[in-house]
Amino acid sequence: MKYISTRGQAPELTFEEAMLTGLARDGGLYLPAEIPVMSFDDIAGLAGLSYEEVAFRVMQPYIGDTFTDAEFRDIIARAYNGFGHAARAPLKQLSEGQFLLELFHGPTLAFKDFAMQLIGQLFEAALSRRGETVTIVGATSGDTGSAAIEAFRGLDAVNVFILFPHGRVSEVQRRQMTTPDDANVHAIALDGDFDDCQARVKDMFNHFAFRDEVRLAGVNSINFARVLAQVVYYFTSAVALGAPHRKVSFTVPTGNFGDIFAGYLAKRMGLPIDRLVVATNQNDILHRCLSGQGYFKGSTIPSVSPSMDIQVSSNFERALYYAYGEDGRAVSQLMDELSSGGFDVSQGAMEALRESFSSGRASEEETLSTIASTLAATGELLCPHSAVGVKVAEEALRASDGAGTKVPMITLATAHPAKFPAAVEEASGVHPPLPSRMSDLYEMPERLSRVDNDLAAIEDHIKRHIAS
Ligand SMILES: *Cc1c(COP(=O)(O)O)cnc(C)c1O
């Protein structure tokens, strides 16, 4: 399987090269040259299998001969071994036709562990075979950083630097990044917001001299291997509800569009997904875009669902690539326009997007009241991100009332409520306790560096800390 850039100007790579590279050299994102398709019988055959076996069958066509089947099965087994739930991604019913996919049983209590734990094992296996080391640099609005640090801590071949917006992540998120004491992990509090963190990481990748000197590798959701890991739970949950014999829809709390883009791939692979509903908080550039108002940046407003406080949604570029008929030049031009504020989506591309995606938004008040109402109706305590999803899912279900056979709606619960205790307690009056396996988080000493929002300062910091 070959991997190509959404902007059409970077060399084609193998899966392993695309994974170790992250961002393409033309500024684009890697995608498989062709999306593998699973037959009706292949999908029916997933029923009753373990999460790990489904993961193997869904992902194997994408990795080709990068690893032998035995090696790849072993990598998957190690990736999900540290999860606190035997089902890995258990599905719960909230009401008639409404389900919640719990993706927060990994080591850092957010869905990002699904991709990050796998990528940690993939990197270790590939780098040790190549005898190489890399420097991983990532930007985080909170959850990616802790998931990356947890996945790479203590590995010999990797140094990890995570940029997070100073003062804009929750205390649990910050402590998960600053308390691991392994010498190869480095938390950087940047004086800026998440978009600044993400922009500086992109700058480092576009600064080829630095990129080559430190052997930069990216594990942000632009890394295709991360998107791929997330395709798996669309299959396990849809099959649990009767796919491929029955359609399902998904509502996905969305920031960088990585998680929901994985759902799009699942649909293109043959999973019978009816709607993919993008749920945003008040930072609603995607909802505005999918409502036909173009893709124009605003400024980020901090919210109770900070992992979705994003104005530029990196992986949306991948959806645009397909919506524009796999035309790298068109995508390249849109991204140029975006750097000076935004762009309008062509009518043809808008129609293509609407074939798969719908959207909705939840205000701060709606998010908090959904936490309270869901607790009252079901006993389930939602994190604010998951609550944005449930609110938008309920709206989507109401909109489809009377439209014939009801398609079940699965909302992705992206984090554990204990990751966002202040907002959850404000909404519900209930203080969500951390699972006992991480109850010492508030006692451990923290280690971090505060750095200016300045490319040279960040690069200098990284070079000094790799050396030591
Ligand atoms: C990262 C994150 C999201 C957004 O996911 P994207 O793939 O960036 O769209 C939603 N909820 C939580 C809890 C997250 O950590």
Query: Distance between CA atoms of 391 and 389, rounded to whole angstroms?
Result: 5
Which atom of ligand 1 lies at the shortest distance from residue 383's CA?
A: 13
Which atom of ligand 1 lies at the shortest distance from residue 258's CA?
A: 7
Catalytic residue among 92, 112, 267, 419: 112
Q: What is the whole-number distance in angstroms between the Cα of residue 354 and the centre of ligand 1?
A: 22
- Region 74-83 average pLDDT: 96
Catalytic residue flag (residue 419):
no
Tens digits of residue pLDDT in 11-50: 999 999 999 987 888 989 999 999 999 999 999 999 999 9
pLDDT of residue 228: 98
Q: What is the whole-number distance in angstroms between the Cα of residue 260 and the centre of ligand 1?
A: 9
Which atom of ligand 1 lies at the shortest distance from residue 386's CA?
A: 11
Q: Which of 201, 224, 226 is nearest to 148 (CA)?
A: 226
Q: Which of 16, 43, 194, 221 is nearest to 122 (CA)?
A: 16
pLDDT at 175 over 60: yes
Q: What is the whole-number distance in angstroms between the Cα of residue 310 and the centre of ligand 1?
A: 10
Q: Which of 397, 401, 422 is nearest to 410 (CA)?
A: 397
DSSP 37: -
Q: Ligand 1 within 6 A of 259 CB? A: yes
Q: Is residue 303 part of a domain?
A: yes
Return the CATH number at 414.
3.40.50.1100
Tens digits of residue pLDDT in 238-263: 999 999 999 999 999 999 999 999 99
pLDDT of residue 13: 96
Q: Which of 410, 327, 423, 345 is nearest to 381 (CA)?
A: 423
Q: Ligand 1 within 6 A of 263 CB? A: no
DSSP 13: B
Q: Is residue 230 part of a domain?
A: yes
Q: Is residue 124 part of a domain?
A: no
Which atom of ligand 1 lies at the shortest distance from residue 419's CA?
A: 13
pLDDT at 467 over 70: no
As a dihedral over the C-alpha atoms of residue 427, residue 428, residue 431, residue 433, rounded to 10 degrees, the angle is -100
435 token code pair: 């699972």
Q: Is residue 327 part of a domain?
A: yes
Q: What is the whole-number distance in angstroms between the Cα of residue 220 and the centre of ligand 1?
A: 11
Q: Ligand 1 within 6 A of 257 CB? A: yes
Q: What is the whole-number distance in angstroms between the Cα of residue 414 and the centre of ligand 1?
A: 7
Q: Is residue 68 part of a domain?
A: no
Q: Ligand 1 within 6 A of 258 CB? A: yes
Q: What is the whole-number distance in angstroms between the Cα of residue 259 and the centre of ligand 1?
A: 7
Which atom of ligand 1 lies at the shortest distance from residue 143's CA?
A: 15
Q: Ligand 1 within 6 A of 112 CB? A: yes
Tens digits of residue pLDDT in 119-169: 999 999 999 999 999 999 999 887 889 999 999 998 888 999 999 999 988
Q: Is residue 365 part of a domain?
A: yes
Helix (H) or strand (E) segment spanning residue 4 = strand 3-5
Q: What is the pTM of this model?
A: 0.94
Q: Strands 342-343 and 295-296, how do they pair?
A: antiparallel
- Region 225-242 average pLDDT: 98
Helix, strand or coil for residue 418? helix
Whether residue 415 contacts residue 385, with contact meaning beta carbons closer than 8 Å, is answered with: yes
Q: Ligand 1 within 6 A of 385 CB? A: yes
Structural domain count, the chain: 1
Residue 300's pLDDT band, with cuts at 50, 70 and 90, is confident
Q: Is residue 468 part of a domain?
A: no
Q: Is residue 51 part of a domain?
A: no
Query: Distance between CA atoms of 362 and 154, rounded to whole angstroms?
Result: 39
User: Percent of the chain scored above 90 by pLDDT?
Assistant: 86
Report the residue among 173, 286, 303, 307 best suited for mutation to probe ligand 1: largest number of ligand atoms under 8 A from its CB: 307
Evaluate the omega torsion of the peptide bond into residue 244 and state whether it is cis, within 30 degrees of 0.
yes
Give, in degrees to the nearest 5, the angle at Cα 29 between 142 and 209: 85
Domain around 335: 91-107+224-428
pLDDT of residue 289: 97
DSSP 446: P
Query: Distance between CA atoms of 387 and 362, rounded to whole angstroms?
Result: 9
